[in-house]
Structure 1
């Protein structure tokens, strides 16, 4: 991945998310997640919706006008839902020229690579959240988390976490914690 093209990194993150989501069973959907605002069903919907939202932006839509992302998802079709979202995103962002655009996302009008980069962080973090519920021992991509943790340190300083920020205060990570756990702790998750 080049510094100006986050698409390969995003596809890597979404592919990992899709693999983790393949382990979701209907009996788990009402369980709480480390992302305390959501139970598993709601977090899965939020995360799949995020892929559709950034795809919609890549299709030329305004983030503020995004329609309901992805529609209703059957309890047993979460992996399929993520696969469809990934396919839509891939089609929406395949044109290299789109990386030269400025786009509107929740944190403002930014260059397209910065917008996609923000969604990389969301996909990696929520993959960790989901894995903690469905298969806590799941090995996640540490290299991917290391890259995202470096970005998170730059764009989400520890001392800039007010009530309007969707991330809690930095939490401690255990000695020797891997990059995924350190990222989760940096974003306010309790390990």
Structure 2
């Protein structure tokens, strides 16, 4: 089975909402004194990263309901787990109809079917979840079965040769020999583990 067949047969909603449950646990464990800490994602400290995670769920809802995330900022002043969980609940309802997976939508990386949007936002949750976990001293280990389909879809969408200026992912970073699957995905996205794990 090739990569395209794998991601077409896996329901991205299952991956997304399982990833969201993991991120919820991370957000709930962030302490107030950690909010100003740096993260592996240079543009965010913990507070703004948490707000961005909240915003990504709101943007996925907008994609389902309006066909585009443009009406929702990628940054939210809300950075708490309650706001995140409330939006995840709404996202379940917004994406409940299977037909939405094949409906055309517009996302920051182009015009795609809805399922591709869900894959992209599952990737956002996992990558930024890794950022949040390592920045706050939490475990960044997740089940390989959760990471694998996201990694396969990502490699298909953005292979190494597509890393050109303007693409929001840096050059692939070589992984440590004992890196777990999520750390390897973070490295593939251009994040370095050095100083974080």
Give SS of 1:159's match: helix
Task: Tell whether the 8 Å contact from 1:52 to 1:70 is kept in structure 2 after alignment.
Answer: no
- TM-aligned CA deviation for residue 88 of structure 1: 1.5
Q: Distance in 2 between matches of 1:127 and 1:183?
A: 12
Which residue does the alignment assign to 2:92? 90
Q: Distance in 2 between matches of 1:119 and 1:158?
A: 20
Q: 2:51 aligns with which of 39, 45, 48?
A: 45
Distance 1:150-1:91 versus aligned 2 partners, 3 A rule? same
Task: Tell whether the 8 Å contact from 2:39 to 2:135 is kept in structure 1 after alignment.
Answer: yes
- TM-aligned CA deviation for residue 81 of structure 1: 1.7
Q: Distance in 2 between matches of 1:175 and 1:118?
A: 27
- TM-aligned CA deviation for residue 97 of structure 1: 2.0
Which residue does the alignment assign to 2:37? 31
Q: Distance in 2 between matches of 1:124 and 1:96?
A: 23
Task: Tell whether the 8 Å contact from 1:34 to 1:129 is kept in structure 2 after alignment.
Answer: yes
Q: Distance in 2 between matches of 1:169 and 1:99?
A: 30
Distance 1:4-1:112 versus aligned 2 partners, 3 A rule? farther
Q: Distance in 2 between matches of 1:169 and 1:185?
A: 9
Q: Distance in 1 between matches of 2:31 and 2:60?
A: 26
Q: 1:16 aligns with which of 13, 16, 22?
A: 22
Does residue 74 of structure 2 align to residue 72 of structure 1?
no
Distance 1:69-1:182 versus aligned 2 partners, 3 A rule? closer
Distance 1:155-1:61 versus aligned 2 partners, 3 A rule? closer
Within 5 Å, give how 1:52-71 maps onto structure 2: 52-64=58-70, 66-68=71-73
- TM-aligned CA deviation for residue 37 of structure 1: 1.4
Q: Distance in 2 between matches of 1:4 and 1:174?
A: 29
Task: Tell whether the 8 Å contact from 1:173 to 1:182 is kept in structure 2 after alignment.
Answer: yes
Q: Distance in 1 between matches of 2:190 and 2:73?
A: 28
Which residue does the alignment assign to 2:115? 113
> What's the RMSD between the two structures over aligned residues?
1.9
Q: Distance in 2 between matches of 1:156 and 1:108?
A: 13
- Gaps of at least 5 residues in structure 2 are 1-6
Q: Distance in 1 between matches of 2:32 and 2:54?
A: 17
User: TM-score, normalised to structure 1's length?
Assistant: 0.90
Q: 2:105 aligns with which of 103, 106, 113?
A: 103
- TM-aligned CA deviation for residue 21 of structure 1: 0.9
User: TM-score, normalised to structure 2's length?
Assistant: 0.87
Aligned length: 187
